[in-house]
Amino acid sequence: MAMHATEVAFETTSTPSAKRKPEAPPSKQVEAEPSKLQVATLRINHVKQDIKIVFPDLKKNPSVPAYKLLEHVKTVVLETNTDCIANNGAYTRLCSYFDGHDALFNNADALKLEILASSSEMTMDENEAMDNAALFATKLRQLVPVCSKVDIAVTMRKSRPNYFASEIAGLVVSRLFSNMSGIGLSVDKQIPDMCINTEHINGLTSLEYTSDRNYAEIHAIITNNQKTLKLLKLNCYVTDLNLFFSNDEGRGPEVQFPSLLELEINGRYVYESPKIHMAAAVPFPNLRRLAITGEYSFIDDAVFRGNEQTLAELYIVMNAETLVLLNGHDVFARGRFKALEKVTVSSNFQDCFELGLPTELYNVISELLISLASQTSSLTYIEEFDTHFEDFIDAFKASKSELGKLKELILPGTRLYQYLVREVKDVFPSLKKLKLQN
């Protein structure tokens, strides 16, 4: 994982028969602030047979050994590869270092594991390799005894990984996700199918998933946890979203998320992807935050039904098709949402703008913004062009009597429009912030 901050590294070389001693601190010693120790990265290098512990927020070496700082760590990041896991190198390195000190990440509640899937041929017995993977996962869980959230990224280099590497990764994923309250999974497109055992992945409150691959196990996890999930983030193809949410055009059981508070969807279309059909009258009744950062993937207004009293934050990418669809269902009718606090609309009307924004489309956008502004205290509108900035301002001025809640307004515009800022502030005395962004 790329580190953007200055790294402070503690390298350790393990030997099976002797306890490892920490590297001597530099002559210029400094005390480590606990707030700078909340993230620790462990890098297991099978070739060098060592572990490197990095505190990315530190700029100088602290005056105490690394193993004495683990009590401050809240998030553990571990980087390794499937070869190192399969041949027991990862397990041995962890045991050699951590068993040599009475040190655990006793206060770490989050684990982030980055596994590089190997493309090299497996030269050892497959059963032994799987046993080693199980030992590694068990040891890792022992090091973070109070961990409640695990994020795993399975990545690859240029060469396609071998099938057995994905099996190793799948076993580790299954063991680490078991009995957690929050999980996250990111898988590179070329990784062969992982067999994830979902039997003990229950009672989830948060799930984040990013991949261009179709994993039936993710569908099973979502289905099994739809009653308990509070946060759900999905970044995948719309065809997969259909699998996760749909119920065969209403012929199957209703899919409903009664506890869900946050939903973030980035759906990507391929060819003629069917839109999501949800049969439940109110699939997300208690939603507080909704972010649709890609294509609007639902066939109707399902995601907005029944949460008029709870929805507080909305981010949506709007194109002409989505605008027509949602307007047809009166989704943004004035007075519909009672709890809105922050709204961001990002326009995706490139073709329309390049041809010149049609008057009727501008009118619809303007009405949309006014309607949302009348229901929230913060409104941001993002677009690539600002050719109608003055018209938008005129529309807001004409509707000022309806915009009493509005405290923050961010519109597309360059410094050429700065002369309007004072005028707008005079019209809207309740505004605390007016910003133009290019």
How would you write the pLDDT of the chain (438 residues) with one tens digit per residue?
343 433 333 333 333 444 444 454 443 444 557 778 888 888 876 666 677 788 888 877 666 777 778 888 999 999 998 988 998 888 888 888 787 666 688 899 999 999 998 877 767 788 999 999 999 999 999 999 999 999 999 998 767 767 788 899 999 999 999 999 999 999 988 888 888 999 999 999 999 999 887 778 898 899 899 999 999 999 988 888 887 887 554 444 567 899 999 999 998 877 677 888 888 889 999 999 999 998 888 999 999 999 999 999 999 998 888 888 898 899 999 889 999 999 999 887 665 555 455 566 777 888 888 899 889 999 988 876 655 667 777 788 788 778 878 899 887 766 656 666 677 776 777 888 887 776
Torsion-angle region of 315 (φ positive above 0: left; ψ -120 to 50: alpha; else: beta):
beta
Torsion-angle region of 102 (φ positive above 0: left; ψ -120 to 50: alpha; else: beta):
beta
pLDDT of 2: 41
Question: What is the identity of the amino acid at 353?
Answer: F
User: Residues 209, 213, 217, 219: what is their CA dihedral angle, to the nearest 10 degrees?
Assistant: 70
pLDDT of 135: 95
pLDDT of 384: 64
Select from 22, 152, 159 the least CA-distant residue to 78: 152
pLDDT of 100: 63
Q: What is the pTM of this model?
A: 0.86
pLDDT of 385: 61
Select from 248, 240, 283, 300 the least CA-distant residue to 265: 240
State the CB neighbour count (10 A cutoff) for residue 335. 10
Distance of CA 255 to the CA centre of its chain: 22
What residues contact 118, with CB distance under 8 A and at least 6 apart?
Answer: 81, 82, 83, 161, 162, 165
Round to whole Å and give the CA distance between 433 and 27: 50
